[in-house]
Amino acid sequence: MIIENAEVVLKSHRLCNHCLGRLFARLGRGTNDERGMAIRFVLNMERSAKGLPPIEEPETCELCGNIFDKIPELVEDMKKEAEGIEFETFLVGSRFPGEVRKREEAIWREFGVETAEPINREFNRELGKAFGLATGKDTAKNPDLVFIVEPYSRKVELQINPLYIYGRYRKLLRGIPQTPLPDFEDSVASIICRAFSRVSGGKCVFKGAGREDVDVRMLGNGRPFIVEIKRPKRRRLDLDSIAKEINASGKVEVLNLRFVSPKDAGEVLTRNHRKEYLALVRVDEGVTPEEAERIARELGGLEVHQRTPWRVRKARADRVRVKRVHEAEARWLDENHFELRLVTDGGLYIKELISGDKGRTKPSVSDLLGKSAWCERLDVLNILDD
């Protein structure tokens, strides 16, 4: 039936071997070109036995216009487009004119073809194979590069997929914002991104898993972050060397740099971490060692209802968040100061937990103490993974 059906089609349409074989793409193995060549060969043997002339492959295919013959030229176009860009994996997509797809589907309907595949699918596959052979690169589901080719106009659109790097940063000095702000020379993001942009040749976007205030240090195991490098020209980055360059700033240190997938990057940024803090609490009315110890006992396990702090109300939705203090330890320093080491849910504002923020945080250290207290100095000691 395959040979009979092919003969009926070829009597009405001048098709190349690619387009003939593609009508029967779901049958057997091999390329469509090989399949079409075999079908035409057997068909012409049968026609010869009947004394009929052969149906040769036409000089110009009425369906595709011999576009598959242009693949070597398109490979060169793709190589030129990717010149100077470091990559190991790629994918190929194509945009075919609507009239070509309509002609193909009309043939399917005319002859009731149910075993075909679309022309763009075969073209992508064959162009991808040819480009891989010419460059030694491999195809992949999550490639470094994606080529979108318009075969007839020879337009090649290149998509360079981003790189994602996970790490943790320590901010060693106060007075440095996490992201650039007016009147600040540097930020955590700019210090980190300068090194990545210079080495990769791409645009670096910094994304922290939470943030600390400008006057707060980030110590201990560091805050998780993701660096997204858009349109990198170089992908084989020496992360140890980049870390050394960043750490030499004396302001920010990075730890545990490694490449991650887009999915893993998203999970890092959405995961909720408990945090360990060290706060220096000032009480102008005076505080005793016994009061400091009592505050720590009462804070441990405490549920806190915290309305969005007054100082960040313009940047955060105004709502009440319920958070918990999991651990609290106190160390009395002098009649006006004591230290609090706290382990809390992520998203609990520590400065407001101490001051009360004019009643927006309940309960607070000020409430429990019965005296006004505020945070004179704050450090994030650790970001605790679940």
- Residues catalogued as catalytic: 213
d(CA 361, CA 378): 18
Do the Cβ atoms of 386 and 271 come closer than 8 Å?
A: yes
d(CA 108, CA 5): 12
- Count other C-beta atoms under 10 Å from residue 360's C-beta: 19
Is 277 among the annotated ligand-binding positions?
yes
* CB environment 85-115: b (16+ within 10 A), e (fewer): bbbebbbbebebeeebeebbeebeeebebee
Residue whose token pair is 């930020």: 187
Helix (H) or strand (E) holding 196: helix 188-200
Do the Cβ atoms of 16 and 69 come closer than 8 Å?
A: no
Is 152 among the annotated ligand-binding positions?
no
Q: Which residues, in sequence order, are bridge partners of residue 160?
A: 145
Question: CA dist 122 to 63, 93, 99, Å?
Answer: 14, 10, 17
Do the Cβ atoms of 173 and 166 come closer than 8 Å?
A: no
Q: Which residues, in sequence order, are bridge partners of residue 217?
A: 379
Give the phi and the psi of residue 4 in degrees, each rounded to 5. Answer: -65, -45
* CB environment 294-322: b (16+ within 10 A), e (fewer): ebbebbeebebebbbbeeeeeeeeeeebe
Among residues 49, 53, 23, the alpha carbon closest in space to that of 36 is found at 23
Give the phi and the psi of residue 293 in degrees, each rounded to 5. Answer: -65, -40
Give the phi and the psi of residue 297 in degrees, each rounded to 5. Answer: -60, -40
- Output the known binding site: 277, 349
Give the residue numbers of the binding site for substrate.
Answer: 277, 349
